[in-house]
Amino acid sequence: MSINSDFSLHKWLEKSNGLVCLVFTDLVGSTSLLSEVGTVLYTDYRKAHLNRANQLRRKFGGILIDQTGDSLFIAFRSVMKSYAFAVGLFDNPGNINIKVRIGIHYGNVSADGSALAGRAVHYAARVMQQGKDAELWMSDSARNSLFHESPGLAESIKWNNTDECEFKGFEGKQRLWCVA
């Protein structure tokens, strides 16, 4: 479901006490690709990508919070479902000519009209920004929550971690996990 006038983000959040999984996505090298293939073809690639993302978002029960350019911000009530969405989009972004980087974070947010607010939103965006190429990154809290929700799934994933991430506005080094 996406945000519309009949939808109350506040009520949706009440069911999870504001604790949700946040996913940010971004196309890798989109400006270069646009220059290479031209506006018409790039627009077709982008539409195919957005269609694929919306198909997966609906399948796994996510809500679209924001779409800016070729970036998406989606919320899920379950880390497992957000991970399934992310892997599905990562493996098939809708067109073979595009690649996506994805960041997943689990944290507490509040509704601000049709938007989400809170430090977790900023943190999730920084998790996605950790990806420099087609990469899928998870925060430590998202990974821990995945182990809680679905231990078998979490144990089956090959994880690479780093404790050296510094995020603007957040003190200290942050531990993130790249899904290999």
Two tokens, residue 163: 């404790």
CA distance 172 to 164: 9
Q: How far lies 25's CA from each of 93, 125, 129, in Å?
A: 10, 9, 9
> What is the number of helices (H) and of strands (E) in the chain?
7, 9
- What tens digit of pLDDT does each residue of 71-116 get? 999 999 999 999 999 999 999 999 999 999 999 999 999 988 888 9
- What tens digit of pLDDT does each residue of 9-53 get? 888 888 888 899 999 999 999 999 999 999 999 999 999 999 999
CA distance 175 to 126: 12
| Burial degree of 57 (CB within 10 A; 0-12, 13-18, 19+) | buried
Q: How far lies 78's CA from each of 30, 129, 149, in Å?
A: 29, 22, 8
Class of domain 9-179: alpha beta
* pLDDT value for 7: 66
* pLDDT value for 2: 45
* pLDDT value for 1: 40
Higher local confidence (pLDDT), 3 or 18: 18
Higher local confidence (pLDDT), 174 or 55: 55
pTM of the full structure: 0.92
Give me the amino acid identity at 135. Answer: E
- What tens digit of pLDDT does each residue of 128-172 get? 999 889 999 999 999 999 999 999 999 999 999 887 888 888 888
* pLDDT value for 10: 84
Rounded mean pLDDT of 51-72?
A: 95
